[in-house]
Amino acid sequence: MKDFEQRLERLEFISTQMKEQGLSLSESLSLFEEGMDLLKGLEKELESIEQKVQILVSSSEEDSPVFEPFNKEDE
């Protein structure tokens, strides 16, 4: 499948399209379904990436590693 960035861009495009008026119910539903599929895949991939980062951080510490979960508010 497409890489993460391309799927995220597609999700953003879908969001923009759905905010615009003039879409039929069928078009809106189709875009919504595609967006939900993209969202689920992106969330799953982010969880996997977070786990890998936690493992790398833990294995790079010399003494006792300290687990620090990723916090989006710290960005």
- CA count, 13 A, side-chain hemisphere, 30: 6
- The predicted model scores a pTM of 0.68
Residue pair 10/37 in contact (Cβ under 8 Å)? The answer is: no
Q: What is the pLDDT of residue 75?
A: 47
Record the tokens describing residue 5, joined without a space: 């960035």
Intervals of the chain under pLDDT 50: 1, 75
Q: What is the pLDDT of residue 1?
A: 47
- Rounded Cα–Cα distance for residues 33 and 30 (Å): 5
